[in-house]
Structure 1
Amino acid sequence: MAHRSRTSSRVVGALLIGAVLCGTAACTADGSPDDRSGASDRPNSTTVAAVQKAVKKGAELNSLSYRLSGKVPGQGTVKGKASFSLRPRAADMRMTASGGVQAGEFSVRLVGDAGYLGGGERAAAVLDGKHWLKFALQDKEAGGFGGMLRQADQDPAAQASLLAQSDDVKKAGEETVAGVRTTHYAGVVDVAELLKKRADKSPLDAGRRTKVVEQYQQLGVSELHLDIWVGPGDRTVKLRERAQAAQGPLDVTIRFLDANKPVTVQAPPASDTLDLARKLRESKKELG
């Protein structure tokens, strides 16, 4: 039983890691970090002020729904949709991966301090017929799995806010995104320096900012290329993040959808869920 529990945990972790990594800006799309998105204007006060206004609007968001797509190194092409809220804490990510080792459909749900990873029939094959694996986010016994779920608990508004800290933020032009007229801004930020310097007059909560920076550090990102497209009302319409991470190039494009609308996430049925912490406790008892 103990051996099977450990094997199941490892296998389902391999099945679901692609979905979680995609939720932490580990997707790739066309282009590379060296592509500066055609930015040509020198930094100026008007550009900086416009980006700061968009950051302020994003910081005010309590909930957001968004789509993302791209390619995860070693995982294949990934696309999906996610919704999250800060208060109450909840998130629902649904991903489809193809062309890679982790091909299939995956789901990640966060409900309070509990996280759930689902991998369909492939997960059921190694989880005693269950389709979901439950983790307590703060449970040290969950090991690396708890870290995976914390990474999935991302905050796109906080990610976009980092552009305001770029020393070379530029206006890259005017573009229409999904029928919305937007202004495109781009810049590069030094991830290591983000926590060293104070974000003057930043409307973003310090905890949210620190959390997103640490996520990039965990991925081994040192230099982050950011592009945002800002529409009417200073609302961010699209975000693109690019970097060279420890395991290869990372690139993700996020299309912001509904903002500040109710997000309801339900835990999977207990009858269809394997509780990792309980399994680990049972294994320890069996081992004496």
Structure 2
Amino acid sequence: MAHRSRTAFRVVGALLTAAVLSGTTACTSGGSAEDRSGGSRRPDGTTVAAVQRAVTKGTGLNSLSYRASGKVPGQGSVKGKASFSLRPRVVEMRMTASGGVQEGEFSVRLVGGAVYVGGGGQAAAVLGGKHWLKLALTDQGAGGFGGMQRQADQDPAAQASLLPGSDDVRKIREETVDGVRATHYAGVVDVAEAAKKPAAKSPSGTGERRTKVLEQYKELGVRELKLDLWVGPGDRTVKFRQRARAAQGPLDLSIRFFDVNEPVRVQAPPASDTVDPEQKLKEASRRVG
């Protein structure tokens, strides 16, 4: 159970990171009949091409911000905001979780070659009154936020490419998302069937990373993913919703994108409020020596 809980948070973290850097997100499942209304039941070339354009457009982004909310298997309800940039590589994420294994407010900052994980009062209780833990990018610690290197390196197309490959990807209708006129597309992905398809080779390694994403969903016990994508002007994704039934409960996450290619500035937390395990280890070694 603990392993599945950690995997769930790792998968969702990867989804959010990938979604942010692409302008699109990943998967969803278990919709009702009304979810399928308003469009043909079989994919047509025009629809697939429109979704693929949004996927391709997303891979060219340098930075993006988003708001996310919903339910995560084993973690309960989550709500958060994040901003990402590839050049320079910086990340800032603030998330609140309730009703699950890990509750409270959590923050993650990636800046200057290090990951800073903050947990407010909960962190201070175990960090000697300090609120931030500093980790190297290769460090796999930090509880549910471990593996930040893997998350930051996720290729956005690895997530988004699942939708145009759906056997029933379809156009639902024209809708308005926070004042932005957008076209709503949806599709269902069978995880086992998608995993059987050969990974497409690309310079960025998208196919290989897509395979790893599908493996993570299989670890969670997800069989079917339901994807909803809202594409606005300029083939830009403005919203994504993913739903699935996992072994530990439902995954239902909605993401709203904004501030495309705007500058992202992230500051490292004050050193006086940060615990650096690597520095402490070096100091201890010097004392022993």
TM-score range relative to shorter protein: 0.7 to 0.9
Q: Amino acid of the residue matched to residue 228 of structure 2?
A: D
Does 2:86 align with 1:90?
Answer: no
In the superposition, relative to structure 1, how do residues 170 and 280 fare at CA in structure 2: closer, same or farther (>3 Å)?
farther
> What is aligned with 1:125?
125
Q: Amino acid of the residue matched to residue 261 of structure 2?
A: N
| CA shift for structure 1 position 228 | 0.4
| CA shift for structure 1 position 196 | 4.7
Q: Amino acid of the residue matched to residue 273 of structure 1?
A: T
| In 1: Cα distance, 2:79 partner to 2:260 partner | 20
| CA shift for structure 1 position 264 | 1.6
> What is aligned with 1:254?
255
In the superposition, relative to structure 1, how do residues 277 and 215 fare at CA in structure 2: closer, same or farther (>3 Å)?
farther
> What is aligned with 1:137?
137
Provide structure 2 residue ranges, at least 5 long, that are not aligned to the other structure.
1-5, 17-27
Does 2:30 align with 1:34?
Answer: yes
| In 1: Cα distance, 2:196 partner to 2:287 partner | 45
Does 2:207 align with 1:217?
Answer: no
The alignment partner of 1:80 has SS state of strand
> What is aligned with 1:176?
176
| CA shift for structure 1 position 227 | 1.2
In the superposition, relative to structure 1, how do residues 18 and 199 fare at CA in structure 2: closer, same or farther (>3 Å)?
closer
The alignment partner of 1:206 has SS state of coil
State whether residues 155 and 209 of structure 2, in contact with CA within 8 Å, keep that contact through their aligned partners in structure 1.
no
> What is aligned with 2:24?
none
| In 1: Cα distance, 2:60 partner to 2:126 partner | 42
| CA shift for structure 1 position 239 | 0.8
| CA shift for structure 1 position 62 | 1.1
State whether residues 30 and 225 of structure 2, in contact with CA within 8 Å, keep that contact through their aligned partners in structure 1.
no
| CA shift for structure 1 position 67 | 0.5
| CA shift for structure 1 position 215 | 4.0
> What is aligned with 2:162?
162
TM-score (norm 1): 0.76
RMSD: 3.5
In the superposition, relative to structure 1, how do residues 112 and 17 fare at CA in structure 2: closer, same or farther (>3 Å)?
farther
The alignment partner of 2:252 has SS state of strand
| In 1: Cα distance, 2:8 partner to 2:167 partner | 33
Deviations 1:101-139 (A, max 9, x none): 533211011225421110011101101121111221224
Identity of aligned residues (%): 60
| In 2: Cα distance, 1:242 partner to 1:125 partner | 35
In the superposition, relative to structure 1, how do residues 248 and 98 fare at CA in structure 2: closer, same or farther (>3 Å)?
closer
| In 2: Cα distance, 1:209 partner to 1:165 partner | 13
Q: Amino acid of the residue matched to residue 270 of structure 2?
A: P
> What is aligned with 1:149?
148
| In 1: Cα distance, 2:211 partner to 2:199 partner | 13
State whether residues 19 and 108 of structure 1, in contact with CA within 8 Å, keep that contact through their aligned partners in structure 2.
no
> What is aligned with 2:267?
266
State whether residues 20 and 151 of structure 1, in contact with CA within 8 Å, keep that contact through their aligned partners in structure 2.
no
TM-score (norm 2): 0.76
> What is aligned with 1:12?
none
